[in-house]
Amino acid sequence: GENVEQHPSTLSVQEGDSAVIKCTYSDSASNYFPWYKQELGKRPQLIIDIRSNVGEKKDQRIAVTLNKTAKHFSLHITETQPEDSAVYFCAASKNAGGTSYGKLTFGQGTILTVHP
């Protein structure tokens, strides 16, 4: 089955700096790669995702890059703010029919702390 590795496990940055979190996956059939942000005591919330037919996607301060050949993808947060502090999870999945994706395999998570 799929295996997703995520690094680093903790990341501490100063406000305004950039943060990068990296993930690798093992199943070459995976074609959907979401990133979730989980604040303390809350459910995971999707912040950005990328599909295997594109190499990069950007949404304001957040971007994700995908290298299918190397089977790794990364989350980039620019101009970090204290409210970006949370646990971030990468995940991988593959199409389950139509536009739906199947089960998610999660990375281990990264605790991001942004210091004011």
Partner 1 sequence: SAVISQKPSRDICQRGTSLTIQCQVDSQVTMMFWYRQQPGQSLTLIATANQGSEATYESGFVIDKFPISRPNLTFSTLTVSNMSPEDSSIYLCSVPGGNEQFFGPGTRLTVL
Task: Supply the minimum distance, in Å, between the C-beta of residue 65 and partner 1.
Answer: 19
Q: What is the DSSP string of 13-49?
A: EETT--EEEEEEES-TT--EEEEEEE-TTS--EEEEE
Task: Supply the minimum distance, in Å, between the C-beta of residue 19 and partner 1.
Answer: 19
In the bound state with partner 1, the residue whose beta carbon lies nearer, of 97 and 116, is 97
How does strand 10-14 pair with strand 110-115?
parallel
Report the interface residues with partner 1, using CB under 8 A: 1, 34, 42-46, 49, 89, 93, 96, 99-109
Q: CA-to-CA distance for 47 and 63, rounded, in angstroms?
A: 10
What counts of helices (H) and strands (E) characterise the chain?
Answer: 0, 13
In the bound state with partner 1, the residue whose beta carbon lies nearer, of 19 and 91, is 91
In the bound state with partner 1, the residue whose beta carbon lies nearer, of 82 and 102, is 102
Q: Which residues pair with 23 in a beta bridge?
A: 6, 73
In the bound state with partner 1, the residue whose beta carbon lies nearer, of 11 and 104, is 104
Task: Supply the minimum distance, in Å, between the C-beta of residue 99 and partner 1.
Answer: 6
